[in-house]
Amino acid sequence: MKLDPQSYARMVRRAAPPSALGRDCAWAFAVGGCICLLGEAMRRAYALRFAPDLAGTLTSITLIGLAAAATVPGWYQKLAARAGAGTLVPSTGFANSVASAAIEFKAEGWVTGVGAHIFQIAGPVIAYGTLASWVWGLLYWAMSRGG
Amino acid sequence: MNYLWAFLVGGALCLAGQLLIDLTPLTPARILTGYVAAGVVLSAVGLYGPLADWAGAGASVPLLGFGHLLAKGVQQAVDEQGLVGAFTGGLTAAAGGVAASLVFAILAALLGRSKDQN
């Protein structure tokens, strides 16, 4: 039987379990929500002692530290296999991607291995985030001058 | 009450990411990059600030919040220093998170061993 890519994709879609999307979404929602809930609890605890901005920074540093720690024994990856975007989209997912690249490329040395590959995912995120914020800074500057 | 909104908003932003993974050919790296850039845009048009006030960590923990942080930082720096703030504000505001990611990743590499990914 001859198959073109479109009809093959249709067959795969029909053969796949129908609830996969719903299950993925439920996991992503629940796990992502829980990570944010944990962040909110930390933010409030820090806010008792520190200014709001500092409390936010401390929260993200703590979450990032926890995610990196959970990456070492592979727990974060195990959760991610289930939770998908629920573990990817929070800043803990960013931390996990940086930490797992660092661990992965340790064998290639500390400079060209760890040092270079640490930016595999962090690089694009930081680069385009910075570019977007620079464009906004320019616009904001022009708007605040021109009125 | 705020805890509930943190959970619901954070969960919804992750659910949106899951839909992108399942229904589009976007790779995780593209989704993360897109989320940060989208966060800058949403913050610039004034939508993300109110959401962050309302949902707390539900808005600041997802990577959209990282973009919001960059945009807010740039705005504040432009207010204080003028045009040069467009260069300094974003990374200054994000410095804590970026430095933490890099430092903890290197520490993780010291402790961890790479194993075959399944």
Residue A111 lies in a domain: yes
Q: Give the max Cα distance, chain B.
A: 51
B20, B85, B100: residue with CB nearest A65 = B100
Above 90 in pLDDT, residue A20?
A: no
Domain span at residue A115 reads 16-146
Q: What is the pLDDT of residue B1?
A: 60
pTM higher than 0.95: no
Residue A35 lies in a domain: yes
Above 70 in pLDDT, residue A90?
A: yes
Residue A68 lies in a domain: yes
Q: What is the pLDDT of residue A8?
A: 79
Dist. CA A49–CA B22, nearest whole Å: 42
Give the orientation angle of helix A91-104 with respect to helix A52-71, to 10 degrees.
Answer: 40
pLDDT digits (tens, 9 = 90+) for A96-115: 999 999 999 999 999 999 99
Above 70 in pLDDT, residue A38?
A: yes
Residue A122 lies in a domain: yes
Residue A48 DSSP code: T
Q: Is A80 an interface residue toward B (CB < 8 Å)?
A: no
Question: Domain extents for chain B?
Answer: 2-111
Structure tokens at A81: 């296999």
In chain B, what are the helix, strand and coil shares in percent, each to the nearest 5?
85, 0, 15
DSSP alpha helices (H): ranges in B24-84? 28-44, 48-55, 57-60, 63-81
Angle CA A72–A75–A77, to nearest 5:
90
Number of domains, chain A: 1
Inter-chain residue contact B97 with A130, CB threshold 8 Å: no
Query: Which residues of chain B register pLDDT less than 50?
Result: 117-118
Residue A55 lies in a domain: yes
The alpha-carbon gap from A99 to the nearest alpha carbon of chain B, in Å, equals: 4
pLDDT digits (tens, 9 = 90+) for A110-144: 999 999 999 998 999 999 999 999 999 999 999 99
Residue A6 lies in a domain: no
Residue A128 lies in a domain: yes
